[in-house]
Structures are given as structure tokens and as C-alpha cells.
């Protein structure tokens, strides 16, 4: 199974890191140019006013980049590992990809943890490494997507927008699963996961980096509706699901020590603070 890496042209450090990481793990990959926040497609339009709050231009660019990846999966009609360029992968990922390469009864598998509890099935599903994912709260840095799932996500964003990870989390029609233990995290969580990584990044769309506009009464109604849907989802799976806080197996990331310090080999003006 091939990986599709979403990467801005200016994010040279991230690109080099992914090339080294994926080559070390022997995962074939393709770089997909990410949308820049100044691209014409991110300019104000009615579409960008259809979520629970107004989206900033960097957030719009992120969604556009993921939509582009979803379209690629749908067009090629084969599952792919979709990665943001700051995704840190476990040494177990190649085995997971091999085991799922011919799976036909799922839409989506997230490999990631972002330090928030997930609503998962109590029992393992499909293999000893997966649990059914009923509700997630954040994270779109590392996931396996099948063509059926790609079409569902494209349909979900045809007339309404949202943060890329929020769109995925809210798409309850996805036949979704979680890798247990998680096999990936974004580099900004390295300290929390107690893993040393040779990549330092920041993000313009991380909560707290900018003042968020709450929007008007329409946005507030959409937030209320989203909360109502989340509550209903929890009731629907009551008794067969539980909230679980997942952490990675740190030893699965020991190989990162074999990768060179990326920042020492790139132009400081083009380091990984470039972002979606």
C-alpha cells in the first residue's frame, strides 16, 4: 500500500523527514502538493461559511489538501495511507499496511492518537490490532483510506465545509477503525508521547495560536446540532463501546534515532514551520 504525503512546497524540512522516515520503513510514497493558505481557492465564499464557526485561510487550505487526497484515493480505486507531513510513524506501520492491503470491508483506519479519549468497541475487530471507532475528537495526520470512504468524505464536504479532522470525525457513515495501540502521532505531540523525534514543527491551525471567531447565530445552531449528534452517537453504541485514552508504544519509535537531524541539513529559511 502506498502513502500519499500532503506537503507544502515551502516545507522542505518536513519533506526531507518524510522521505527518510518512509524510506527507512520501506513504504512507497508519493508527495501531494498541499494548498497554500494564500491560494485563490481559500478566498472568502459562501462555502467557507457553512461550518460551526468561520474557518481561517490556513484551515481552508488544510481541508482542500485533504479533499485532494480523498479524490486521488477515489480516482485510483485503491486504499492509501494519507499522511500530513509532520506525521511520526511506528515501526509497525508496514506490517499494518500489508495486513490491510486487500481488506474490502472497511472505509477508514486511523493510526493516530492526539491525547483525547476515543469511543471504541470493547472487543477487537477484524484483527488483534484494530478496534471499531465510533467517535473520535481530533486528528487527521495519519490514516488509511479506502475508495468507499473517500467517496463518503467527498460527499460530506460537497456543500458544507469544516476542519479536515472534524469532517472525518463527524462522518458517522464511515466504517471506521482505530489501530490499537496507535501507530502514529503528529510531531507537536512528541513530548507528550515521550518520544524523541528529529523534526520540530509548529502549526498555524493548532488551537490557541489565534483568536477564533465564534460566528453568528447560524454557526451557534450548527454547534448545538453537532453536540446533539455526538450525544446520540454515544447512546446508539451504549453497552458495546467505551471511552479509551490511547498512547503509543514508545519502543516502536526507537528507529527515529537512526534518522539524521533534519534541521541541520536544510536551509533555515525553509524549515518545517511552513504549514498547511
Residues in the chain, pLDDT under 50: 207-211, 267-276
The dotted CATH code for 3-270 is 3.90.550
Question: Could you report the per-residue pLDDT of 237-269, keeping only the tens digit for each?
Answer: 999 999 999 999 999 999 999 886 655 555 444
Q: What angle do CA 274, 81, 56 make, to 5 degrees?
A: 35
User: What is the predicted pLDDT for the residue at 270?
Assistant: 38
Domains of the chain, by residue range, sit at 3-270
Output the pLDDT for position 194: 95
Residues 6+ apart with CB under 8 A from 187: 86, 87, 88, 197, 199, 200, 201
Amino acid at each position: 500500500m502506498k502513502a500519499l504525503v500532503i506537503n507544502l512546497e515551502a516545507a522542505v524540512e518536513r519533506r526531507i523527514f518524510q522521505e527518510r522516515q518512509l524510506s527507512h520503513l520501506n513504504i512507497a510514497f508519493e508527495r501531494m502538493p498541499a494548498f497554500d493558505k494564500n491560494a485563490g481557492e481559500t478566498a472568502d465564499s459562501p462555502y467557507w461559511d457553512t461550518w460551526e464557526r468561520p474557518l481561517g485561510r490556513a484551515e481552508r487550505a488544510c481541508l482542500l489538501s485533504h479533499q485532494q487526497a480523498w479524490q486521488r484515493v477515489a480516482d485510483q480505486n485503491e486504499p492509501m495511507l494519507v499522511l500530513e507531513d509532520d506525521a511520526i510513524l511506528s515501526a509497525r506501520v508496514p506490517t499494518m499496511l500489508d495486513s490491510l492491503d486487500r481488506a474490502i470491508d472497511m472505509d477508514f483506519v486511523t493510526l493516530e492518537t492526539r491525547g483525547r479519549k476515543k469511543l471504541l468497541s470493547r472487543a477487537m475487530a477484524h484483527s488483534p490490532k484494530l478496534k471499531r471507532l465510533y467517535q473520535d475528537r481530533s486528528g487527521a495526520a495519519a490514516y488509511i483510506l479506502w475508495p468507499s470512504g473517500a467517496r463518503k468524505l467527498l460527499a460530506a464536504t460537497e456543500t458544507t465545509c469544516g476542519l479536515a479532522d472534524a469532517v472525518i470525525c463527524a462522518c458517522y457513515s464511515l466504517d471506521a477503525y482505530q489501530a490499537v495501540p496507535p501507530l502514529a502521532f503528529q510531531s507537536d505531540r512528541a513530548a507528550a508521547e515521550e518520544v524523541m523525534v528529529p523534526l520540530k514543527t509548529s502549526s498555524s491551525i493548532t488551537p490557541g495560536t489565534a483568536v477564533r471567531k465564534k460566528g453568528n447565530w447560524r454557526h451557534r445552531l450548527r454547534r448545538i446540532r453537532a453536540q446533539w449528534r455526538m450525544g446520540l452517537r454515544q447512546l446508539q453504541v451504549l453497552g458495546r463501546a467505551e471511552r479509551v485514552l490511547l498512547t503509543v508504544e514508545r519502543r516502536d519509535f526507537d528507529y527515529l534515532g537512526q534518522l539524521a537531524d533534519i534541521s541541520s541539513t536544510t536551509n533555515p529559511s525553509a524549515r518545517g514551520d511552513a504549514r498547511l
